A and B are shown apart, each in its own frame.
Chain A
């Protein structure tokens, strides 16, 4: 097998007359962490959602682990088992408790037995530091705890790659750190990750590569030290100036 875990080729996506992605080519190698940054509305979420076909691409192809998801005959549900996704709004199943959130897809999708699913759920809850919340309902948890449960839920499917769409953007500032810590740990364990984020510090520390998107295209990409540290493109510089120094104190 190739070393490319996610391969996006010539991706276009339109919503009606609005073309949101205007030809994206991007690869994520196995074990690599790629952060996607860019202004709001530039198409970052749409790109991520095209990777697991939550959005149907208008043109272009998506390969994950060498399997073409955009092939009309592809078994999308099967492919999605290997692609974990974490949403900005957590999207926990509110009628199920924490443990059930982690076991339901293992049982219904992977066909695991209840005992095995429970064991895996416990292991992943421990990974995100929430073992004591096993029986809690989502509504009883803070945003940061809910997001960590959502990460554990995705991990319980043993995915090959993880997609994160602004996982900390809906959190109170003091809860962001816990979620980022879990993601850092995951990166250190060698997980292949594609992360849309506004956390520039996280991107600099953890990302192997950064993609800067604007207006539906990738404007600049490379090592975080160059894209975030010494951006060559004017649009990147403008964006970073706004994100890193919103009050224009410099």
Chain B
């Protein structure tokens, strides 16, 4: 060994050897845990319930419609959420005290309650509140997802708007632009660019939140992935359909995740998302 020891008397390992040793311990531990889990589990049972190849191949081709519905619902919810969020952010940054209050209460309320409650209230409350209207599934879903995502996005957008240098706002006003024109032509284009990564993050979170739609109970043919999976679980007496559904979610979320990383690397100053670390 040719390691240069600064103090010959030292019997302890060098930092590099120590790190190497720790790495080996970690690998051994990980493999040990996995082996223990596999050996103690009833693998045949697991495979029968979760990874039945017949079920897998039977369910996979049927999942397309549900996959598209998940994308559609999420997109509609995100669009409504974005519009609401923009309104809320502008209200919160505005000069009218009432508007600031309303926006603050809305944001804190919907960030503070579980999304599931929103779905229950929208799914069952709306038809009671407005008995004269017929609510389409997509309408209810859009409202629920829009409300859930708007609170998070409002805070993100507010931070983005505030991140645009004030001097540019003054320059625009000095050129004779009205506050509204300044917002639309100078501030928002820059603010939205700044918050694109956290917005992509929110879109991923919302895709997963769309699995809560099952509490509304969608009509046949309108199901999204989670409800499709639950129904198929019953039909095929096992949870293999859930594996299919999980893969379908990844088909949506992984590209979004890659997109988000690309946006983040775009070199723009960014503002972190508020959607609890999902």
Q: Does A109 contact B (CB under 8 A)?
A: yes
Residue of A at shortest CB range from B177? A109
- What is the minimal beta-carbon distance from B90 to any residue of chain A, in angstroms? 19
> In the complex, are the beta carbons of B176 and A105 less than 8 A apart?
yes
> In the complex, are the beta carbons of B175 and A81 less than 8 A apart?
yes
Task: Give the residues in chain A near B272, CB-CB below 8 Å.
Answer: none
> In the complex, are the beta carbons of B186 and A85 less than 8 A apart?
no
Given the known interface contacts A87-B170, A104-B185, A109-B181, the answer about A94 and B175 at a Cβ–Cβ threshold of 8 Å is: no
Residue of B at shortest CB range from A101? B171
Q: How far is the CA of A79 from the CA of B173 in the complex (A)?
A: 11
From the candidates A84, A94, A105, A154, name the one contacting B177 in the complex (CB within 8 A): A105
> In the complex, are the beta carbons of A91 and B170 less than 8 A apart?
yes
> In the complex, are the beta carbons of B185 and A108 less than 8 A apart?
yes
Q: Does B9 contact A (CB under 8 A)?
A: no
Which of A81, A87, A94, A108 gathers most chain B CB within 10 Å? A108
Q: Does A204 contact B (CB under 8 A)?
A: no
Q: How far is the CA of A91 from the CA of B167 in the complex (A)?
A: 5
From the candidates B170, B177, B181, name the one contacting A54 in the complex (CB within 8 A): B170
> In the complex, are the beta carbons of A80 and B170 less than 8 A apart?
no
Type the 1/0 row for A79-119, where 1 means its CB is closer than 8 Å to any CB of B.
01101110101111111000000001100111000000000
Q: Does A198 contact B (CB under 8 A)?
A: no
Residue of A at shortest CB range from B171? A91
Given the known interface contacts A104-B185, A109-B177, A109-B181, the answer about A93 and B172 at a Cβ–Cβ threshold of 8 Å is: yes
Q: Does B99 contact A (CB under 8 A)?
A: no
Q: Does B174 contact A (CB under 8 A)?
A: yes
Q: Does B178 contact A (CB under 8 A)?
A: yes
Which of A83, A89, A90 gathers most chain B CB within 10 Å? A89
Given the known interface contacts A93-B168, A94-B168, A104-B185, the answer about A80 and B174 at a Cβ–Cβ threshold of 8 Å is: yes
Q: Does B165 contact A (CB under 8 A)?
A: yes
Which of B170, B172, B174 gathers most chain A CB within 10 Å? B174
Q: Does A230 contact B (CB under 8 A)?
A: no
Q: Does B230 contact A (CB under 8 A)?
A: no
Q: How far is the CA of A194 from the CA of B176 in the complex (A)?
A: 19
> In the complex, are the beta carbons of A80 and B172 less than 8 A apart?
no
> In the complex, are the beta carbons of B167 and A87 less than 8 A apart?
yes
Task: Give the residues in chain A near B173, CB-CB below 8 Å.
Answer: 54, 77, 80
> In the complex, are the beta carbons of B178 and A77 less than 8 A apart?
yes
Task: Give the residues in chain A near B172, CB-CB below 8 Å.
Answer: 93, 105
Instruction: Give the contacts of B2-23 with A (CB-CB under 8 A).
Output: none
Task: Give the residues in chain B near A80, CB-CB below 8 Å.
Answer: 173-176
- What is the minimal beta-carbon distance from B133 to any residue of chain A, in angstroms? 40
> In the complex, are the beta carbons of A157 and B171 less than 8 A apart?
no
Q: How far is the CA of A153 from the CA of B171 in the complex (A)?
A: 10
> In the complex, are the beta carbons of B189 and A154 less than 8 A apart?
no
From the candidates B167, B175, B181, name the one contacting A154 in the complex (CB within 8 A): B175
From the candidates B170, B176, B185, name the one contacting A157 in the complex (CB within 8 A): B176
- What is the minimal beta-carbon distance from B66 to any residue of chain A, in angstroms? 40
Q: Does B193 contact A (CB under 8 A)?
A: yes
- What is the minimal beta-carbon distance from A127 to any residue of chain B, in angstroms? 17
Task: Give the residues in chain B near A92, CB-CB below 8 Å.
Answer: 168, 171
Given the known interface contacts A91-B168, A94-B190, the answer about A52 and B177 at a Cβ–Cβ threshold of 8 Å is: no
- What is the minimal beta-carbon distance from B170 to any residue of chain A, in angstroms? 6
Q: Does A78 contact B (CB under 8 A)?
A: yes
Task: Give the residues in chain A near B174, CB-CB below 8 Å.
Answer: 52, 54, 80, 83-85, 154
Task: Give the residues in chain B near A91, CB-CB below 8 Å.
Answer: 165, 167-168, 170-171
Task: Give the residues in chain A near B167, CB-CB below 8 Å.
Answer: 87, 89-91
11 A-B contact pairs sorted by A residue (CB < 8 Å): A54-B173, A87-B171, A89-B167, A90-B167, A91-B171, A93-B186, A94-B165, A95-B189, A95-B193, A109-B176, A157-B176
Which positions in A face B, CB cutoff 8 Å? 52, 54, 77-78, 80-81, 83-85, 87, 89-95, 104-105, 108-110, 150, 153-154, 157
Excluding A80-B174, A108-B185, A110-B176, 13 further A-B contacts by CB distance (< 8 Å) are: A54-B173, A77-B177, A77-B178, A78-B176, A80-B175, A91-B171, A93-B186, A104-B185, A105-B172, A105-B177, A109-B177, A153-B175, A157-B176
